[in-house]
Amino acid sequence: MWNDRQAICLPDRFPVCDASKWEQAMIQGLAQKIDLFIHNRGKQRDLNSLWRFPYWKRVIRTAAVWALDTFAIFASFAVLLVLTRGWAESATLLSLYDGAIIAGVSSTILFITGMYKRSWRFVSFADSISLLITSFIGLAIGWASIAYFSPLAAYPFNFITFAFLHYSLASMAMQLMRACRRAVRSYRRRQQNKASVYSNDNVAKTALLIGDPEWALSVLDMFGPRNSSAINVIGLLLPSDDRTISQLANVPVLGGMESFNQTVSFLTEQGEKPNLAIVCDDGFNISVRDLSALNKSAKQHNIEVLKLSDPASQLLNRQPTRDPSNFPLSELLGRSERTIERSIIQRQVSQQCVLVTGAGGTIGGELVMQLASYGPSRIVLLDHAEFQLYNIEMRLREAHPDLEIFPELCNIRDEDEVRRVFAKHLPSVVYHAAALKHVPMVEANPLGGIHTNIIGTRNVANAVTEYAVRAMVQVSTDKAVNPVGMMGATKRVGELYCQSLDLCGVDDTSAPRFMTVRFGNVLGSSGSIVPLFKRQLLEGRPLTVTHPDIERFFMTVGEAVQLILESSARSLEDNSTRGNIFVLDMGEPVKIVDLAKRMAKMHGLEPDVDVPIQFVGLRPGEKLFEELFDTCERRVDSKIPNLFEACSRPIPLPLIGRAIDELDMAVKQGKLEEACRLTHSLVKLPSSDIDLSTMFLNNSLPKRGHHLQLVQGL
């Protein structure tokens, strides 16, 4: 904290070269006096801390409460003494002096037990019970001390009766004082609340509370004068209709949650239609099914739903609702997840520089986190999205603080940027996960898909060749098999280019490896079906499925990344056949409609009863069924568990290189039809009747006119 000395330019902080010794001595003496003054002032502040106003305010408040209770006990004793002089013989043996002793002893017991630390403004039922018990103990001790020194034992019945009446009268007086203090506070609070509502320029929100009574009381207590939102609670709906409760804290109970529609209609007729429904979202009193039905009804009445969790559940770290992301994903997959052998990956990754493109995405992020556990020398994170790159960097630094991490904001579409990153870090292994993967998005923006998935892949692969990277592992998709849309077609061309580069090193063991791993949909990834279904369920909307027969292969993100790492590591260690594509064994395809029904049941909802399923039709570029092997590919059993290999007919590198150059030019010139036609023609080339072996063995650059016209004519 800035102090007085730091505000002065002193020699020990800011030495002046031209100052004379006499001036320096004066300044140092002044500094010593300032230090002594600050030190003495601090000591004086410590001595005066006991005399500060808040401390004595608390002392005065405690003394006042003690005096009031003492007076109440003594006054009740005096009143009872006057009323019983005519019929109780023991009353003649008592005096006001005895009442003073009893009052002093009882109030002392109340002080010792901590009753005076409780505020009267917030007195509760629990405080009242504690006061009854503590005052009984205190009065019993006080009366016992009086009985020990007086001849009251001769009249035990009258003595006990008198003591009990005194306890009843005294405790009632003390409870009444506390109740009056709370009543005054509540009255002032209501007046201030009304003033804040009336003084608000905006129209106050009218709200319905939906939850159990204890939760509702805590919420109502929050809506005080300090609340700037000016919420006017006009009614309460309980989880189930309870006829015994008609009002709660001056708020009428309008029925149970099942009568939401009738209640809103009634309030609308009365001119008090609510525009906000505040719901207790503790996952206990109100189920997910009830919450979904409430969301649907509120949407029909144009009422905003605000979910407010139970504070106790948050303190106990209890999940208020069941989250699909926390479910065992095997329940959605219909099978168990795969396991891998970590030692093989450890041997290939340990102490190596690893570069991951698309590191901020779902697959890239999981790749980064798993690779870090195998002890690489450093990891280079490459992504063009700043926020996603920042997120994965922070996650990685928190999980592995000792690992060297280099975030690179780079777009793989720019060849010069890619070469700069490779020249700077000289990676040993590259995992290429950057791509545009959303089918309708690429279908609507085909030039963008070509630019990223084909030209971007070529830029990365060429940099791998130029900077002698040991291996490049490309993440592909089953949509690249016999594609009908631009997303699958662009990914397929990327596969073919990397396959051609890999085959160029057949006779050169030092040539880089280019491996492609193909798998299906990843559960829970951005843009996938699981987050969509989750949002629709929580909002009370129907689950939308494109077609009743549509099916897909599914994997978890962790499972997919593990098999990517294992397949590439085994391939490097065993020097597997070049040019083959690894295909992950994903079991049987899953119908999307079955997946929707499973998620609904996991939320406690009955499909087609509590939540409808709507079929909206296939989207552009979407197939009804996905495949794992192209028509020109031959399935080969792999030595790696849970993987297959696809042996495909390759395109000669000179031909596909020239075609991608033409695609690059078409993208830059905005020639949409030409770029799309050339992309689909390249995909069909391996399965055509054209003899490509001569071109591949010749390994000569084809002339611009002949081969490309042949390709485009397919």
Instruction: List, for residues 674-693, the tens digit of each pLDDT value.
Output: 999 999 989 888 877 666 65
Tokens encoding 133? 């018990």
**pLDDT score at 225:** 47
- How far, CA to CA in Å, does 119 sit from each of 128, 148, 189? 12, 35, 16
User: Helix, strand, coil % (nearest 5) of the chain?
Assistant: 55, 15, 30
**pLDDT score at 479:** 85
Residue with tokens 């006009």: 234
Separation CA 386–CA 71 (nearest Å): 71
Strand-pair partners of 472: 430, 514
Q: How confident is the model at residue 62 (pLDDT cuts 50, 70, 90)?
A: confident
How many other CB atoms are there within 10 angstroms of residue 620's CB atom? 12
pLDDT tens by residue, 647-672: 888 888 888 999 999 999 999 999 99
**pLDDT score at 157:** 56
Q: How confident is the model at residue 179 (pLDDT cuts 50, 70, 90)?
A: confident
**pLDDT score at 32:** 59
Q: Is the pLDDT of residue 408 over 90?
A: yes
512 close to 505: Cβ distance less than 8 angstroms? yes
Separation CA 383–CA 411 (nearest Å): 7
Separation CA 634–CA 587 (nearest Å): 19
Q: How confident is the model at residue 112 (pLDDT cuts 50, 70, 90)?
A: confident
Torsion of the alpha carbons at 276, 277, 282 and 286, rounded to the nearest 10: -160
Separation CA 435–CA 170 (nearest Å): 80
Name residue 507's amino acid.
D
- How far, CA to CA in Å, does 30 sit from each of 14, 22, 23, 33, 269? 15, 12, 11, 5, 80
648 close to 581: Cβ distance less than 8 angstroms? yes
Angle between helix 96-112 and 53-83 (nearest 10): 140
555: helix, coil or strand?
strand
709: helix, coil or strand?
helix
Kindly report the backbone phi and psi dihedral angles of residue 517, in degrees, each rounded to the nearest multiple of 5, phi listed first.
-115, 125
Separation CA 218–CA 700 (nearest Å): 80
Closest Cα to residue 565, out of 373, 388, 382? 373
Give just the sign of the alpha carbon dihedral 146, 149, 150, 151: positive
Which residues, 6+ apart, have CB-to-CB distance to 702 below 8 Å? 652, 654, 655, 658, 695, 708
Mean pLDDT for the chain?
Answer: 77
Is CATH 3.40.50.1380 the classification given to domain 205-308?
Answer: yes
Instruction: Tell me the mean pLDDT in the region 413-441.
Output: 93
Q: Is the pLDDT of residue 61 over 90?
A: no
435-654 folds as: Rossmann fold (3.40.50)
Alpha helices by DSSP H, 379-510: 386-399, 415-425, 439-444, 446-450, 457-466, 486-503
Closest Cα to residue 468, out of 436, 424, 422? 422
**pTM over 0.85, yes/no:** no
Residue with tokens 């036609």: 677
How many other CB atoms are there within 10 angstroms of residue 165's CB atom? 16
Q: In angstroms, how far apart are the furthest CA atoms of the chain?
A: 131
Task: Give span(s): CATH 3.40.50.720, the chain.
Answer: 435-654
Tokens encoding 576? 């597997």
pLDDT tens by residue, 287-315: 666 777 788 788 888 888 887 765 544 44
**pLDDT score at 228:** 45
Q: Give kind and range of the element (H or E) at residue 292.
A: helix 288-300
Strand-pair partners of 516: 474, 581
Strand-pair partners of 384: none
Q: Is the pLDDT of residue 31 over 80?
A: no
Angle between helix 672-684 and 486-503 (nearest 10): 50
Closest Cα to residue 470, out of 537, 424, 515? 515
What angle is formed at CA 9 by the lines to CA 6 and CA 10, rounded to 5 degrees? 90
Separation CA 417–CA 393 (nearest Å): 20
Tokens encoding 219? 């919420």
Work out whether strand 643-648 and strand 590-591 pair parallel, antiparallel, or are unpaired. unpaired
Most confident option among 10-24, 104-118, 590-604 = 104-118
Q: Is the pLDDT of residue 424 over 90?
A: yes
Residue 674 exposure: Cα atoms within 13 Å on the Cβ side = 15
Give the lowest-confidence range in 13-22, 79-88, 119-128, 457-466: 13-22
Separation CA 459–CA 414 (nearest Å): 8
pLDDT tens by residue, 432-448: 999 998 888 999 999 99
Separation CA 636–CA 644 (nearest Å): 6
Tokens encoding 118? 């409780």
Tokens encoding 102? 């009893």
Alpha helices by DSSP H, 586-652: 592-602
Angle between helix 653-669 and 486-503 (nearest 10): 140
Name residue 334's amino acid.
G
Kindly report the backbone phi and psi dihedral angles of residue 306, in degrees, each rounded to the nearest multiple of 5, phi listed first.
-115, 120
pLDDT tens by residue, 242-271: 666 777 777 888 888 888 888 888 888 888
**pLDDT score at 143:** 82
Closest Cα to residue 618, out of 568, 547, 560, 673? 547
Q: How confident is the model at residue 501 (pLDDT cuts 50, 70, 90)?
A: very high
51 close to 117: Cβ distance less than 8 angstroms? no
Instruction: Tell me the mean pLDDT in the region 618-645.
Output: 74
Strand-pair partners of 380: 355, 406
Task: Give span(s): CATH 3.40.50.1380, the chain.
Answer: 205-308
Tokens encoding 320? 């208020």
